[in-house]
Amino acid sequence: MHRYRSHTCAALRKTDVGATVRLSGWVHRVRDHGGVLFIDLRDHYGMTQVVVDPDSPAFKAAETVRGEWVIRIDGVVKARSDETVNKNMETGEIELYAKEIEVLSAARELPLPVFGEPDYPEDVRLKYRFLDLRRETLHRNIVKRTQIIAEMRNQMNGAGFAEYTTPILTASSPEGARDFLVPSRIHPGKFFALPQAPQQYKQLLMVAGFDRYFQIAPCFRDEDPRADRLPGEFYQLDLEMSFVTQEDVWATMEPVMTSVFEKFADGKPVTKEWPRIPYDEAIRKYGSDKPDLRNPIVMENVTEHFAGSGFKVFANMIASNPKVEVWAIPAKTGGSRAFCDRMNAWAQSLGQPGLGYIFWKEEDGKVGGSGPLAKNIGEERTEAVRTQLGLEAGDACFFVAGEPAKFYKFAGEARTRAGEELNLVDRDRYEMCWIVDFPFFEWNEDEKKIDFAHNPFSMPQGGLEALESQDPLSLKAYQYDAVCNGFEIASGSIRNQSPELMVKAFEKVGLSQADVEDRFGGMYRAFQYGAPPHGGCAFGIDRVVMLLVGAKNLREISLFPMNQQAQDLLMNAPSAATPKQLMELSLRVIPPMKKD
């Protein structure tokens, strides 16, 4: 028999009854039932219940073991009685009667519990991540993560892609975040950058003629952490294709990602044909470029019903500024003053003046509007609003007014809040879509200049002629995002492979041809030697896994994440470099200046 095990802790079944076997694993818990000891033995694969009778040679050793000790057990497989079968365990029809127990590794008193998975301070969980990873939910999430990535690889290979790896030490690239810099010892005073994404390399692969590339790519960005973005590093399913339009990219990746989601969705419906929603339409209808389509609320423009009305706050705004609009946020089943007041208080808690509202009720067989706005605009206009929005008695509607560019995010938050508060969101499904036709440029208010809105290497719609003749802020790009349940899970574009057009685009944000040649010399040179039309995207693996396992935080699907302060508490990183290390790198640490 093998030194440590003949079976895993998930392998034994009723067909093994009578066999003498050997298991090794961790003591999940020990229970004393009238002198008979029950040990739940756990390994990576599952759990087996072990029974130790007082007359067993293993009983003395069993009395000493504690939770998370590593032990080896030899014993005989026996069938459980019908009333003791545990249908929640794969091994629930059998139990192992112990004949011999060997302690392989004792455990000190645990700094956090593994059994039961109670809430515990995050700093302790991260410092002792090796224990945290033994917890069933987190352990299962990590296993599922590897399965999801394996399925992605399988689907991409089936779609004709080949996996290529790109460099980790590279040059700085304008992906929209801070780089992690790596000092060069051989070239004092110069630095490599860890890749924010393999963007330039994958485009160069297309120029080199590789046609369909993908990679499970590590990416590094020096960004502040948040629930759906880990500090430091993340992984993405990165891909690029030659001789394609954006429709080809969508048609290729929709079935790939739909299949991945369907395999791990536990029977929940998954969108098969993803709708394409223009960016401007998404903003107008949902107040977001990553809308949760499980929420049925669609906002509408109701400016005409308030223009010249008795509600002077809105009417005066409309009369004085042609850019002002009034957006309605219909809320089915929300027709109570209590709910409307809660929404209004929520808006005020965000620093907003409030949320105007109307709610409808039926009296004497007639549906009528209630609330201050209904009284101010009158019965006819109130009815026109209800008719336009298709509302009924028992429904409500909230209103936001101003220049849409300034209020759309708040309106989108109100839409989300109303949908969640009223339980209108169907949480048991995965709703996918593409958001398309993104703005090519945007206004940087801090620096008072035009910046790229998305990927700077994208193709503007209309090409060189549009760049030269149109208002830059009116330009659209062949850029697109994939969205699932309110999360952006991918971003991509058709690329700009023209050197002349590339220079012209960067000139709009204040960079000269010399700057382009200096910063992006590899791509600029490559595009002058026969670059095919190409495009692609990258799916965020961490977010996809988070959605599929139902986690609320990326730390629940990552092996060794940092904390909210971008620190690795387990490995004590970042840490100070030694004087010798700094000297070898020709570096000196300058303490940050104290703020007044």
* H or E element, residue 425: none
Give the annotated binding-site residues for ATP: 221-223, 488, 540-543
Count of other CB atoms within 10 angstroms of residue 80: 17
Counting beta carbons within 10 angstroms of the beta carbon of residue 161, is it exposed (0 to 12), middle (13 to 18) or buried (19 or more)? buried
- As annotated, the binding site for L-aspartate includes 175, 221, 454, 495
Region of 270 (left: φ > 0; alpha: ψ -120 to 50; beta: rest) is: beta
- CA–CA gap between residue 327 and residue 61 (Å, rounded): 72
Q: Counting beta carbons within 10 angstroms of the beta carbon of residue 164, is it exposed (0 to 12), middle (13 to 18) or buried (19 or more)?
A: middle
Binding annotation? 175, 221-223, 454, 488, 495, 540-543
The two beta strands, 94-105 and 47-52, are parallel
Rg, Å, the chain Cα set:
30
What's the CA gap between 560 and 439, in Å, rounded? 37
Secondary structure of 84-149 in HEC code, one letter for each residue: HCCCCCCCCCEEEEEEEEEEEECCCCCCCCCCCCCCCCHHHHHHCHHHHCCCHHHHHHHHHHHHHH
| Contact yes or no for 189/586 (Cβ under 8 A) | yes
Q: What angle do CA 82, 83, 87 make, to 5 degrees?
A: 80
The tokens describing 514, both together, are 């010399």
Compute how many other C-beta atoms are within 10 angstroms of the C-beta atom of residue 540.
Answer: 23
